[in-house]
Amino acid sequence: MKQNALTEAVMSLAAQTHAFSDADLEQPWAWGPHDEGARFALIGTYHELRDLAVKLGMLRREKGTAATAVYHLLAQNNTAYRDLQAVLLGIPHDLYETPPAPGEWPLRSVVGHIIGSQRHFFTLVDYAIRRLRQDPTRSPQLPPNETDKVVGPTSAYMQLVEEGTIADLLTFYDGLHQRMMDEFVTISDTELDGISLWWEEIVFDLHHRLHRFDAHLRQHTIQAEKTLAQLGQPPTEARQLLRLVYNALAEVEGVLIGAPDLGTAQQAELAATITARATAVSTRIAQARQLITAVQAGDLDSVQQLLAAEPLLANAR
């Protein structure tokens, strides 16, 4: 699953709005008839993405493009991945390094553990599928050092966790996630019954292994949220709204698994709308902040210039 224009548009919107304060969201903005402040740049985007997901689903059914079980599994995993991305939006570097309490993991360790586990989960499924397709007589037990062979040396990964930037760590995770979405999409319903054996010493099928991507990620996303709350960083309204937007994006992406060219015109149209909206709302908030500063400073000339450029700022708070 390649990142397309719609995904890039949502990421751009998030980059430009995640730092909006609650006061920023009160600034004048309308989405259609809803003149309820800049929050509707985000709520409106959520609405439009949900609508697109439904329409693409209808189009998929009309075309008779069936969704396999693995499509559903990958969609669940992708939703969990997007949710974590939303939780981590715009977190300052120093908060990644700060333990929330003595003896507890900082965010860097939480994120490192999430990705480290995903490396193993990916390898388990990859090995099981290769075994099924190439040599079913091989043992289902994951061979020693198989993770290093499939996704790179553990030593290099641990160096990234301990010394790399958080941006580099998340970029690594994105590559692994995209690889999972691309390579596992060909798994058939029958192959999901294939077996896998790891440290648990219990034989699991690939349904179980693929669900572990999702369940484990959800578990530690909650840990990340708790850590942020302990560090005095509860989610703002803007971040909560963006979390909804990311989950709506994931629903669209889920419908497109196995049918990426579905509704390309509709995807492109919404991507353009969101991109333009991101620029417009970030400009509006910057202008509102400038106006408030000018009013507080008694700078009448600046106030008049800003109002002349954008009369709606007369309603700025």
Residue boundaries of the structural domains of the chain: 1-67+258-317, 92-232
Q: Return the pLDDT at 58.
A: 96
Beta-carbon count within 10 A of 224 CB: 18
Mean pLDDT of the 133-153 span: 96
Averaged pLDDT score across all residues of the chain: 95
Residues 62-103 pLDDT 10s: 998 888 999 999 999 999 999 999 999 988 888 999 999 999
Cα distances (angstroms) measured from residue 200 to each of 6, 8, 81, 136:
40, 39, 25, 21
pLDDT above 80 (res 59) = yes
Residues 250-288 pLDDT 10s: 999 999 999 999 999 999 999 999 999 999 999 999 998
Q: Which fold has domain 92-232?
A: Four Helix Bundle (Hemerythrin (Met), subunit A) (1.20.120)
Q: Return the pLDDT at 263.
A: 96
Q: Return the pLDDT at 3.
A: 72
